[in-house]
Amino acid sequence: MISFDNTEIAFRSKNKQDLQRAYLLFKIIGAPSIVKLGKILTPVALQLHLPIKGLIKKTIFKQFCGGETIKECDPAIASLHAFGIGTILDYSVEGKTKEEDFEQTTQIIIQTIEKSATDKRIPFAVFKITGIAQHHLLELVSEQIRASRKGLSFRELTSQENEQIQAIIDRIDRICAAAAKHQTRLFIDAEETWIQTAIDQWTFDMICKYNQTDCIVYNTVQMYRHDRLAFIHSEYEKALQAGVKYGVKLVRGAYMEKERARAQALGYPSPIQPDKPSTDKDYDAALDFLVSNKAVFSICAGTHNESSSMYLASLLQEAQIPADSKQFYFAQLLGMSDHISYNLSDAGYQVAKYVPFGPVQEVLPYLLRRADENTSVAGQTSRELNLIIKEKARRKA
């Protein structure tokens, strides 16, 4: 029986210094006023070239990131592998707008795929389409697709827009082709609802192209959206019709406050579940459906929720699916929920950690979002902190 309360297993990779750093960091993150102030002051300090990069790299960066380059991630990869946990290298640079930057990001993503091909410790690659595309173009294509489905006309795109959109599709295809060539499973991350329609369409196009025999391309489904359980059912029917395997990375979601604020500002119904229990219910219902249709689906449960992690483990047992089946993975973020990751791995399940990397200053938006999410998710920081305190006490006993 798995126990997520076993802190000896959860923190077995952490020495006294690691544990103390995590303790202090989660104490700070647990104070919303400090996090808000840090979000304002840290980018300003870096822009003014104040000497804080070293401090960031030794604290929040070290907790949540593997390094500034792929090579710098090697110690984190080795440390996770020592306890049976895989690595998902995640190039977490955000906010780029130039074509040359998108091309550079594409090349780095392909490099993570190539590293995975020669390193069994790295079972997946991942990318965000906003990392290789202008946001407004994704919104434009999404609007166009929705209009087409409703039988409505949509304005004609300019030749420049068509050219830029084709360049996005080309980058996506090159990344997916590299994954297929190297047999590396690839997550395409989910994003905001108003651009997700294009992402879903392009992801399904890649699934049809590259998942004919093996599950290479995975779509990411955010269950804090109230329409996603129906979406999974409809994607199942489409996959059956196309005769393809379908990979799903199932998450709760990361844009809830932004989504609700935009819906209210623009006067349309919120796409977000009315409350957390509704999200939890749909998440577990989706797990049930995906496991029940394992002939089509491969699953990565990206969750920091103990109950859903335990539920998937029980579903696999009931279906007599071996714990070490590579068709079913659990995933958490580096620096968070080690009590889930390490205890699942110790029980024989397939587990991987997202290991973000990139230059400190360019990864800062990601790091600040991590801090923000830990503050806003009810109980997340206190849970992490209480487990660390428990382990510190156990080691002193």
Q: Is the overall model pTM greater than 0.75, yes or no?
A: yes
**pLDDT tens digits, residue range 21-50?**
999 888 877 666 666 666 666 776 667 677
Look at residue 371 and tell me whether its pLDDT is greater than 70.
Answer: no
Q: Name the percent of the chain lying above pLDDT 90.
A: 78
Asked if 365 and 95 count as a contact pair (C-beta separation under 8 A), the reply is yes
The backbone torsions φ and ψ at residue 288, rounded to the nearest 5 degrees and listed phi first, read -60, -45
Average confidence score pLDDT of the chain: 92
Which one has a higher pLDDT value, 54 or 130?
A: 130
Contacts 24+ apart (CB under 8 A), 72-78: 72/357, 73/355, 73/357, 76/334, 76/355, 77/119, 77/121, 77/122, 77/355, 78/121
Phi/psi region, residue 335 (left: phi>0; alpha: psi -120 to 50; beta: rest), is left
Look at residue 377 and tell me whether its pLDDT is greater than 60.
Answer: no
Strand partners, 124: 88, 185
Q: Name the percent of the chain lying above pLDDT 70.
A: 91
* 84 confidence band (pLDDT: 50, 70, 90): very high
Q: Which amino acid, residue 136?
A: H
**pLDDT tens digits, residue range 65-81?**
999 999 999 999 999 99
DSSP-derived secondary structure for 85-118: EEEEEEE------SHHHHHHHHHHHHHHHHHHHT
User: Which residue ranges form the domains of the chain, and what is each CATH number?
Assistant: 96-302 (3.20.20.220)
